């Protein structure tokens, strides 16, 4: 079995979902593994990863609004605010959504469903350069 790994760097523009499907699919298909297992891992505690619908933008807007409601930025609400009022809510949102995805590779491509996309979910207000570790084991 062959092993492949790389760091994908993603520039965010502040809070919100950033689709990275194309970058992940392109990287995977270039590895020439017909079958295998792809791990996508976010190397941060204030951003996360999701597989979600990529056809209707209303889905992304609703998800972003939902997470604003369940982990609001509210001065005095959290003990941890070292980097500002969006700091602890970002950690909560990342804990709820997760930092790792595992996707089967079939026919040389990630086996995503028709409307599924891979998203980096930036939970901080200001732009960041995020690192996503990609690992593929396959043959």
pLDDT tens digits along 41-93: 999 999 999 999 999 999 999 999 999 999 999 989 999 989 999 999 999 99
Q: Which residues contact 112 (CB under 8 A, 6 or more apart)?
A: 21, 25, 51, 103, 118
C-alpha span between 10 and 16 (Å, rounded): 13
With beta carbons less than 8 A apart as the criterion, state whether 10 and 18 touch: yes
Residue 132 confidence (pLDDT): 99
Q: What's the mean pLDDT when you consider all of the chain?
A: 97
Say which CATH number the domain at 69 has.
2.60.120.460
Beta bridge partners of 101: 40
Phi-psi map region of 134: left, alpha, beta (phi>0 left; psi -120 to 50 alpha): beta
What size, in residues, is the chain?
139
Residue 124 confidence (pLDDT): 98
30: pLDDT confidence band, cut at 50, 70 and 90? very high
Residue numbers of the domain that contains 75: 2-138
Residue 120 confidence (pLDDT): 98
Residue 106 confidence (pLDDT): 98
Structural domains in the chain (count): 1
C-alpha span between 30 and 38 (Å, rounded): 13
């Amino acid at each position: 079995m062959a092993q492949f790994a790389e760091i994908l760097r993603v520039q965010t523009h502040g809070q919100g979902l950033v689709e990275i499907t194309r970058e992940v699919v392109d990287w995977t298909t270039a590895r020439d593994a017909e079958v295998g297992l792809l791990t996508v891992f976010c190397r941060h505690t204030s951003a996360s990863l999701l597989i979600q619908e990529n056809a209707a933008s209303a889905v992304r807007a609703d998800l972003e609004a939902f997470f604003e409601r369940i982990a609001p930025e509210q001065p005095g609400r959290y003990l941890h605010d070292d980097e500002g009022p969006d700091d602890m809510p970002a950690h909560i949102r990342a804990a709820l959504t997760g930092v790792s995805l595992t996707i089967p590779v079939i026919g040389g491509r990630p086996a995503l469903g028709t409307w599924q996309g891979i998203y980096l979910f930036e939970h901080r207000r200001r732009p960041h350069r995020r690192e996503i570790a990609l690992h593929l084991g396959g043959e």
